[in-house]
Amino acid sequence: MGGGRFDYVAVNADAWDRRREDQLRTARRGWSATEPTWGIFAVPERTARLLPADLEGKDALELGCGTAYVSAWLARRGAAPVGVDPSAGQLAIARQFQGEFGLSFPLVRASGEQVPLRDGSFDLVISEYGAAIWADPYAWIPEASRLLRPGGELIFLGNSGLLMLCVPEEDETPATAELLRPHFGMHRFEWPDDPTIEFHLGHGDWIRLLRRNGFEILDLVEFQAPVDATSSYGFVEGWWANRWPYEEVWRARKQA
């Protein structure tokens, strides 16, 4: 992890170590859910259909698992998940809930850019707001490709690039109808209020990056919210999320 190219990893892991109370609430909701729901406005899996239909016996890796409720959903559907995250604090919450819910799977402290696991050992790599936005895609997408078996699936969900162009810099200030940043050159976002660093790309850059790393793109799902949707996240409101895609989910398959 350390400095240089991956200087942001420790900054972000420290920030996530501090986010304990909110994450305990999020974790309890996620671990208790009988059906997965996705993202800011909790789109149910029966509508989103993001997960492969058959997970029985599948080796799954969650990159940036945080409290690992997504891995718990996978385990309950018959998969054998491994959760990877650089934040000791988030992994401690994941371990607490493993104990509480009687569900155990390996948790590895590492960042999505450098995963200490063997080439070609997974059928599914998934990230819900983990590596998907907190790791540099130019480092974690090649890593996901290395870790997947040929034919394996990559699924990741995060804020849409469009939303990131419209979110003011001040914390918890909702997205506007104005483009506040240029699309071209979109990559690294540094947030000053609660110092953290995120990564977002435009669609053309995502397509080229995925293809260059041996992926066939299966789908790009753009979520639309009901106009009166509410959430506890201050940076996007229902009226915005009803008009423009607020989140996007990429599904890709590693070619044989």
Contacts to ligand SAM by CB under 6 A: 9, 12-13, 16, 23, 26, 63-67, 70, 85-87, 90, 111-113, 128-131, 134-135
Q: Which is nearer to ligand SAM, 97 or 206 (CB)?
A: 97
For the CB of residue 195, give the shortest distance to ligand SAM in the complex, in Å.
13
For the CB of residue 4, give the shortest distance to ligand SAM in the complex, in Å.
14
Let me know the angle formed at the C-alpha of 89 by 83 and 91, rounded to the nearest 5 degrees. 20
CB 45 within 8 A of CB 51: yes
Distance CA 124, CA 251 (A): 11
For the CB of residue 198, give the shortest distance to ligand SAM in the complex, in Å.
9
Q: Which is nearer to ligand SAM, 7 or 54 (CB)?
A: 7
Q: Which is nearer to ligand SAM, 131 or 175 (CB)?
A: 131
Looking at beta carbons, which residue is closest to ligand SAM? 66
Q: Which is nearer to ligand SAM, 51 or 65 (CB)?
A: 65
- Nearest in space to 129 (alpha carbons), one of 150, 92, 160: 160
Between the alpha carbon of residue 90 and those of residues 97, 110, 126, the distances in Å are: 11, 12, 17
Q: Which is nearer to ligand SAM, 113 or 247 (CB)?
A: 113
And the tokens for 185?
Answer: 């050159």
CB 67 within 8 A of CB 23: yes
And the tokens for 132?
Answer: 């998907």
For the CB of residue 87, give the shortest distance to ligand SAM in the complex, in Å.
3
Distance CA 157, CA 132 (A): 6
For the CB of residue 177, give the shortest distance to ligand SAM in the complex, in Å.
26
Q: Which residues contact 204 (CB under 8 A, 6 or more apart)?
A: none
Beta bridge partners of 108: 84
For the CB of residue 224, give the shortest distance to ligand SAM in the complex, in Å.
21
Q: Which is nearer to ligand SAM, 75 or 135 (CB)?
A: 135
The enclosing H or E element of 14 equals helix 7-18
